[in-house]
Structure 1
């Protein structure tokens, strides 16, 4: 089975044999009292990688956003959320709303809509906090960070970005034939954005293959978060094993990350070129999440099933532009040229029969359809 469902874009795996040994998984105390061994070193390395002053490890982005918006709800802020912000950050925003914070939505990747919202809703008693995903895999585009920052700075606000998709993939000095750039520091490094008015919440579960999260930003905001975090008091911190895996991932990234990113881009280009040769196309640009164009709903479901029977595992997704299922392929650096060629060959053999098959059998199919591709 060739797997196109894994979001381990750089193909990092962390076996127990490959990690440094640990004496115990947990200290039995919350992080508010004592940080687990290695946590400070990994956080410092991530802050440097992302171009931020300070960083703090969290067990997941769910913990991170729950605490972040709990903290912000105590401040005189109004929240402005991109309508397609991923669910976990939205849940944090919902917590702030329940605490009485005004929340406004604006159109996806639309700075003018954001500006109009802020002008219409602005108050001298609050400042705006803009919440968005740094990179949208559904449309294959980064958020317009330049414009968002111009607006935020005009009103003395704060920009909160979920950089999960970009961390480990994007970096400095992107070029035409190396669009990911170097270093894997994420969207801020890729676009050259810096400032004390930016906060990043990121999972390492994609590019780095580690189920842990990091909050990165200015010393002021990270220190404040650390002192006001609820889950750092009431929940277990990341385990020592996961922290060891994060340290290993950063070392692999330092030693092999750029060749892995070049390999990943090579496979994405091969996939898109292969689609072109059989008369198809995909959305996603140079990003490793590729979604077939022109095939949706039952057609996408039937093609998903037939590919699976022939050894090709894909993802049924749902974009913000359509309620119907679409077929996505998550490409990683572990895919070989033969994997891509075989996938294109199977698509070529099956795709022309999809509409006919759908017309013959329109019975509903009970398959999981993901509403997004930013799974934590």
Structure 2
């Protein structure tokens, strides 16, 4: 990225006082890729989740998906501070969610459903179509989506050539849903590598957010270099993104294929975060350490089904080479022989 001479590093003013027109255009482009009308830039999703729960009226009840990414849960805590009921729900039990919506609806409550666009635990998109159907009887109901995981990775029109889809617009085009009830909070740090967040939705929703926002008044706005980097990243993605997503899919498919061939079944589906479930915490920690010694940086992720035993996870990227994947598989195969967890991973029933 080349930063133009003459542009300041910062405007020295909160966003409520002044934003450059091109910065607002950058946010609008992110929104439109998601199938939404307009957007606003913010320094992080934490800023936005802190602020967004000023919007719901006191008659609102917040339904939050149980495995929601922590930042979204921190935001719902502010809803609790305002005295709004916050009700956890499980996406695998939609009839119960429907009953809860009906019960609170009978009390005159308006629902906000809060979820991640891509469910990392289940390795599938959230049931967004079902959620919107459940919200139909409520004119002011909102589906609030954290689409950080999916934006820049998933897109529209997924097919056999590119199961990730095209365009990189995230969960909404991937699933094929649009609705004025949807608000998204999205960090671009994962899909596009830029530490900037975007709030997106209808013009009416975002105009109300601007009127209510405290973060836009009391904190610094996105720096000019970060906004410029976002603009460049979107332009680069428009030209080369589908090629990168094709390369990413090839690495994901190779990783899954080569591990399966040696009797190890990773979980993660089509997504670039691939996970291994081990029978014991000691096995997971031992594998993690062995990989680090070989120069392979894996992750330890909490497993909600077995909180005491972390999953060993791999975040694949488009710039990983076929040789990188081969080396990781070779190390995993060697470690499996020493740890005696091969049969456990290969018989798992998860995605």
TM-score by length of 1: 0.87
Match in the other structure for 2:330: 345
2:74 to 77, 91, 115: 91
Match in the other structure for 1:168: 152
Root-mean-square deviation (CA), in Å? 1.5
**What do the CA deviations read for 1:252-284 (whole angstroms, capped 9, x no partner)?**
110000000010000000000111111101110
2:298 to 285, 309, 314: 314
**What do the CA deviations read for 1:269-313 (whole angstroms, capped 9, x no partner)?**
000011111110111001000001345511011001011111211
Distance 1:22 1:118, change over 3 A: farther
1:287 and 2:258 correspond:
no
SS in 1 for 2:237: helix
1:78 and 2:61 correspond:
yes
Distance 1:342 1:19, change over 3 A: farther
Matched residue count = 339
Match in the other structure for 1:149: 132
Match in the other structure for 2:313: 328
Match in the other structure for 1:189: 173
How far apart, in 1, do the equivalents of 2:203 and 2:175 lie? Answer: 21
Which segment is superposed worse, 170-179 or 216-225? 170-179
How far apart, in 2, do the equivalents of 1:44 and 1:167 lie? Answer: 14
Match in the other structure for 1:56: 40
Tell me, yes or no, if the aligned pair for 1:84 and 1:108 is still in contact at 8 Å.
no
Match in the other structure for 1:38: 22
SS in 1 for 2:54: helix
Superposed, which structure 2 residues align to 1:177-326 within 5 Å? 177-323=161-307, 324-326=309-311
1:137 to 115, 120, 129: 120
Tell me, yes or no, if the aligned pair for 1:132 and 1:161 is still in contact at 8 Å.
yes
How far apart, in 2, do the equivalents of 1:21 and 1:140 lie? Answer: 44
Match in the other structure for 2:105: 122
How far apart, in 1, do the equivalents of 2:6 and 2:41 lie? Answer: 18
How far apart, in 2, do the equivalents of 1:64 and 1:21 lie? Answer: 30
Tell me, yes or no, if the aligned pair for 1:212 and 1:242 is still in contact at 8 Å.
yes
Between the two structures, name the one with larger relative contact order (CA 8 Å, sep ≥ 6): 1
Deviation at 1:355, TM superposition (A): 4.4
Deviation at 1:158, TM superposition (A): 1.2
Distance 1:230 1:250, change over 3 A: same
Which segment is superposed worse, 149-158 or 76-85? 149-158
Deviation at 1:91, TM superposition (A): 1.0
Tell me, yes or no, if the aligned pair for 2:125 and 2:175 is still in contact at 8 Å.
no
Match in the other structure for 2:8: 24
How far apart, in 2, do the equivalents of 1:46 and 1:67 lie? Answer: 20
Tell me, yes or no, if the aligned pair for 2:278 and 2:284 is still in contact at 8 Å.
no
Tell me, yes or no, if the aligned pair for 1:26 and 1:36 is still in contact at 8 Å.
no
TM-score by length of 2: 0.93
Tell me, yes or no, if the aligned pair for 1:281 and 1:293 is still in contact at 8 Å.
no
